[in-house]
Amino acid sequence: MAAPAQSRPLTATRPALLPQNSDHALRKLLYDFFTVGGRLEEIRRQLAARIRLSGPQFTILTAIGELEGTTGASVGQVAEYLHVTQSFITIEARKLAQQAYILKKPDSKDRRVCRLRVSRKGRSSLESLVPLLQRVNDVVFDLESRRQFEMLCATFDRLVESSARASALMNSGVKA
């Protein structure tokens, strides 16, 4: 599909984002991001529903499983890993503990810190999803090579950082 004629102001100024002095490719990329993000959110919601959790609870449970090691993951570690606030993790971890998906214990060295671990129920629930999750991830990330995957990971690492700066810019109340 050809890019539409440019009759409005450009939405970016960086030359790398403006092939042929048009922001059409950037706009399409953003629309594609929204589409992929929405689809991934729906996939997460459906996976979570299979084990009677919300999408964010499912993500938190899997992150705790990745981070817990031998001592458990702190609320702060999980929040940083998922790029959310500690208060959000605290609220959702309380719900997960009430439903017996995780165990919460005070840190042995610092009683102010809470250590989170996946419980037997949580582990069993996550393991029940593994075959489906493998199939879904293989389909979503149908890339041609490990190098493509590595480039995608590096690009998203950078976008996480730059989008945080853009969000801070928007939250600062800056005017157009």
pLDDT tens digits, 32-68: 999 999 999 999 999 999 999 999 999 999 999 999 9
Global pTM? 0.87
- Residue 88 has a CB neighbour count (10 Å cut-off) of 15
What is the structure's pLDDT at 6? 52
C-alpha–C-alpha distance, residues 45 and 47, integer Å = 6
Amino acid at 113: V
Domain ranges of the chain: 31-134, 142-176
pLDDT digits (tens, 9 = 90+) for 77-115: 999 999 999 999 999 999 999 999 999 998 888 878 899
Average pLDDT score over the chain? 93
Provide the sign of the torsion angle of the four alpha carbons 59, 62, 65, 67, taken in this order.
negative
CATH T-level topology, domain 31-134: Arc Repressor Mutant, subunit A (1.10.10)
